Each structure stands twice: as structure tokens, then as C-alpha cells.
Structure 1
Amino acid sequence: MFRGTLLHELLHLPNYWKVVRASPDLPYPVQKIAFGDHYRQYFLIVEPAEPPLGWIIYWHGGGWQFGSPEQFQKTAHPFLDAGYGVIIPSYRRLPWNDFRTIRQDTIMALAACRNFWQSKGNPHPHVVLLGMSAGGHLASIAGLDKSILQEAGWDLAQIKGVVACGGVLDFSLMKNNPIIRLLAGHPERATYSLANPVAQIAKQTAKLPPFLLIHGTKDGMVPYEAVVSFQKCYREHSSASTCDLITMQRGTHLDAARWMFKDTLLRQNIMAKVGRWLMVDR
């Protein structure tokens, strides 16, 4: 009866956290690297036993307000099992900071990633950007806004793909959401456009990275129509790249991230696509 509402999502959040906590601990050491003076300016990094075949940068969810990389480090399991290194960034949060600060922290985190890889002798490895909910928004922004990568000292060709799970990708269908207003301000202001992934598509002249969108039709936090709108805009502006959408029939917001904690056909399909992306140009 309440499926597809915010109330339904909130009532099922404890069960989601139960699944996360029940997942096994990571089998490899977790390193914490600071990229600024604020206690939120850091990322966690985990490497498999062998040299990584590629890297995943994962931004967790939490409405740009809640959660920490430590709480979500178990999402690294499927990627470590496949031989990839994983980085989980933190950043300064709402309500004391808005998108302009979060964007700057994203640049700083990516620059610190480059410095870490450079210390390993490979400053420009292949990377897939991944995120859930608010993290899906940040992963998408980092993949679309080329100035972020350029300011961080990245080679644009490093980004082999973007995966957005339950991502906030089109603000126009969430205009009255108070969290979006807190993040990006009034729709007529420049920050709003800068923070809106769908608005970034038309601004880019370079080839866009391929996207994979995972979204439920009963998402009670981010309307399914918003991700459909993003895919439509992407396809209209970028015939050279792909933007695929995996629709989870009757899937909720939290369902979009459950595949990271259980080996299902969905997870196998996602990992296969990530693997194909990371093998490009090898």
C-alpha cells in the first residue's frame, strides 16, 4: 500500500542496515587518506592482493548529509573479488555546506587519488565511477563535468564508465524537494544548474563516458521518471556513447543498492559491464 513512498523507504531502512552489517568484513587492509584539514575530507582505500585491474570510486548515499565511508566499506566486496581497487570518498555535508563546497571536495578527493596512484607508478589507471542515491548524483557529476577532472589533474580518458544506483539525476522533477534546495539553491541560480546532472549533459563538448542507471519503479525518494528523463537527454546529446537503464519493476530506492551485498543475476550483469568498461584500450 505504501510502496513507492518516503514512509515505505524509511520503515525499511533498518532492515537494509541489518543486511549491510551482516555482510562479512573486508579481507584486505583499509587505508584512510586525508585530502584536507576538515574531519570529513578523507577517503578510504582498499586494494586486492594482486595489483588492481582497475579502480572503482564509490560515493555512498545519505542525502548529502548522513553516513560515512566506514559504514559503507562492505560495498567493496564484489569489486575486490573481481580484482579491482576501491576508493570511498567523504566530503563536507549539508546543511553547513552546499554543492559548491561538495564540488570542491570532490576535486580535492580526485586529486588525492591521482597522487596515490602516482606514488604507485600508475597515475592514470582505468576508473569506473559509482554511487548510490546522493552518491549516484556525485558520481554522475564527476563523470559529466569535465572541469572537475581537469582541475584534479586527471586524464579524461581514465573514466571508462559511470554507474548510478537510485541516482538523483534530474532536479526538474524534484523542484520542491527541500534537500535539493539546500544543496543547490533556487532553480534560477548558477549553482542549481552546476549541480544538476541532466543540465551538465548539454554543456559538455567532449565525448561523454558510458552510463549504467539502476532504478526501481517504486522508488520513494527519487522518482523513476527522473532517471528516464536523464537517459532521454543523454541519448539526444550523445549518440557516440551509451546510457543503459536497468529497470527494477516495483523496486524501491534501497533495492537499487542491494546487489552489492548479494550475488544475484543483477550483480553478475552489472559486474560484467564494469569489467568490459575497464578492459577498454588495454
Structure 2
Amino acid sequence: MRRMIKILGGIVLVLLLAGGALLLAIRNNGPAVLDAVDRIAGGKRDVVLVEKARYGDAAKQKVRVYRQGKAGEPIPVFLFVHGGSWRWGDPDDYGFVARAMAPEGYLVVLAAYRLGESGRYPAMLEDTAAAIAWTRANAARLGGDPDRIVLAGHSAGAYNVVQVALEPKWLAARGVPEASIRGVVGLAGPYDFFPFDSDSTKASFGSVGAGAESQPVNHSRAGAPPMLLVHGEEDTLVKPRNTRALAAALEAKGAKVETLFYPDADHNAPLIWLAAPWRDRRDVAARISRFAREATAVSVPVQAGKP
């Protein structure tokens, strides 16, 4: 019996160490590792890549479109923009986001944007708006509804989607009607970080004359699309006060905003929890899906003479 207990204890210890090493690898090496783990642990979930396209001449001006099954009735669009401190990131490493959301009934678009020197403010916003415009122009062809788009992003990507949704000029420049953006999901996003004091913000904003107008918190307005803002309380890279500040500013204007704070979560946790095997253990994916479903619900008009 003692021998059996020792063996079982050893197995448990190995599994715990392996699990810890896996999480460390994900946190250190990022989305590509997470994507591989998701494919192994969760499978493809019948989600397929249906389009690879570019919306500009630069290598990073690209989108990847995923769907579950064949195109039928137009479904809502979930457009996700990656993070990476505006210095790195590639939508090809974020297939796990598509495998989380496409089975919930969305056409999923993973969008990139110029990075580093060529992606300095306001280029990342111009590119995000251009990716949204491409999506709206091509959604119907790929099975999506161009007037039911939910934007989402993690970290720097959350900044991008929130800023273009709140400051009307970016989408207007691309001919995208505000009404087509039905909701916005921000995961661990920086929304109130001026004056710039980190290496990433100085590199992306500090030398191009950007000031307070570059901050989402300063563009809160009553007509903003509904927002779901998710943050980990243990996030030391992008402090949760960013989400609190933006939520308070939106609420003060009468805009619709929902927040989710997780006491045991760091900066990458909300993103990690979108992938298998963590997807079913945490409620982030379910909460995002519920928010997006409510935001894109089609109102059925009441016919004359009908109750």
C-alpha cells in the first residue's frame, strides 16, 4: 500500500511540475505555445481557416478568417486584435481564439497591424480601422453579417479596438458606420496611460507628439458601443486601474459597460483562459460569448395586428 501511495504521489508531482512548466512556457513564449496546446487538448472543433488576406501593402496588414461549418444564414462577426506591446504578435498564433468563438456561432477574424517603428501612433489605429473596414466589406461573402461586428483585443490589441470604437474619426475615415460595431471586448487593456512612462509606450507613442487625445479614457461618450472589460487583479504589466478608470468614465457618460475582475489573474490569464484545457475551467470564454450574443441579437419587429 505504501508503495502504491508513493507511486501515485510521484505521478501527481510529475503532473503538477509538468503543468507548471507548461504555464511558464506559455507565459514566456506566448501565443504560439498556447495555440499548440489548445490544438492538442481541445482539437480543431470543426473550425476551419476560410480566408487569408491583406488589407494593405505591409506584411503585417493581414487578416485570418475562421468559421465552423459551411456558410449559411449570416452570422455575427467577432474580430480579435492581438497584443504584444505594439512590438510583436501575429494572428497566425491565435487560432485558439477562433476555436473558442467560432463554435459559439461567430465568423472570427484575427487581425494584425504594423508593429515597431512603422506601427507608431497613430498607425496602429489606422490599421485596426482598415482591418475592420476590410472585414465589413467581405463579411457577407464569407458568411458573416457586416452590420453585427464585435471587436475584441488583448493588451495592446485591446487599446486598439477600444480607441477606434470610442474616437469616431478612425472608423469614419474608412467609411465604417458606427452602428455596425455592436460591442467591444477588452482583455487586460491599457486605456489610461498618459504620460508615457514604460519602454513600450514611449517607443510607440512618446516621440510622435501623441498626448492625452491618444487615451481611450478621454473619449468616453454616451453613444459608445457596449463594452465588456476584463482584467486580472494581479496584472503588473497593465494595471487594473486602467479598466476601472475607463469603466467609470463610460458610466459617467451613461454608456453601457460591464467589468470582470479576477483576483487570481495576471496579465495573460484572461487570454490563456480562452484556450483548452483552461477554457472549460474558467468562465471568461462563456462570459465573452454571452456578451457578444446579447450585443449582436437581432430585434424582431412587431407586425401590425400582432401582440
Answer whether TM exceeds 0.5 for this pair.
yes
**Aligned residue-pair number:** 267
- 1:210 counterpart letter in structure 2: P
Contact 2:64 2:91 (C-alpha < 8 Å) held by counterparts = yes
Residue 269 of structure 1 pairs with residue 287 of structure 2: yes
Give 1:47 deviation, angstroms. 2.4
Q: Percent of aligned positions with the same letter in both sequences? A: 22
Tell me the distance in 2 between the aligned counterparts of 1:194 and 1:280: 34
Matches within 5 A, 1:9-158: 12-14=27-29, 18-24=33-39, 26=44, 27-49=47-69, 50-51=71-72, 52-117=74-139, 119=141, 124-158=146-180
Tell me the distance in 2 between the aligned counterparts of 1:30 and 1:226: 36
| Structure with bigger gyration radius | 2
Calculate the TM-score normalised by the size of structure 2.
0.79
Residues 71 and 102 (structure 1 numbering): CA distance in 2 closer, same or farther, change over 3 Å? same
- What residue number does 1:5 align with? none
Residues 36 and 247 (structure 1 numbering): CA distance in 2 closer, same or farther, change over 3 Å? same
Q: Which has the higher contact order (CA 8 A, sep 6+)?
A: 1
1:197 equivalent among 216, 222, 231: 216
Tell me the distance in 2 between the aligned counterparts of 1:126 and 1:15: 30
Tell me the distance in 1 between the aligned counterparts of 2:174 and 2:185: 20
Residues 141 and 280 (structure 1 numbering): CA distance in 2 closer, same or farther, change over 3 Å? farther
What secondary structure is seen at the aligned counterpart in 2 of 1:70? helix
Contact 2:274 2:284 (C-alpha < 8 Å) held by counterparts = no
Residue 245 of structure 1 pairs with residue 267 of structure 2: no
- 1:260 counterpart letter in structure 2: L
- 2:270 counterpart letter in structure 1: A
Tell me the distance in 2 between the aligned counterparts of 1:47 and 1:95: 33
Contact 1:160 1:209 (C-alpha < 8 Å) held by counterparts = yes
- What residue number does 2:239 align with? 223
Q: Which runs of 5+ in 2 are unaligned?
A: 1-22, 301-307
Q: Which moved more, 1:158-167 or 1:116-125?
A: 116-125
Q: CA RMSD in A?
A: 2.6
- What residue number does 2:6 align with? none
Tell me the distance in 1 between the aligned counterparts of 2:130 and 2:56: 8
Calculate the TM-score normalised by the size of structure 1.
0.85
Give 1:15 deviation, angstroms. 7.7
Residue 281 of structure 1 pairs with residue 302 of structure 2: no
Residue 209 of structure 1 pairs with residue 228 of structure 2: no
Residues 281 and 181 (structure 1 numbering): CA distance in 2 closer, same or farther, change over 3 Å? farther
Tell me the distance in 2 between the aligned counterparts of 1:23 and 1:200: 36
1:260 equivalent among 274, 294, 302: 274
What secondary structure is seen at the aligned counterpart in 1 of 2:223? coil
Runs of 4+ in structure 1 over 6 Å off: 8-11
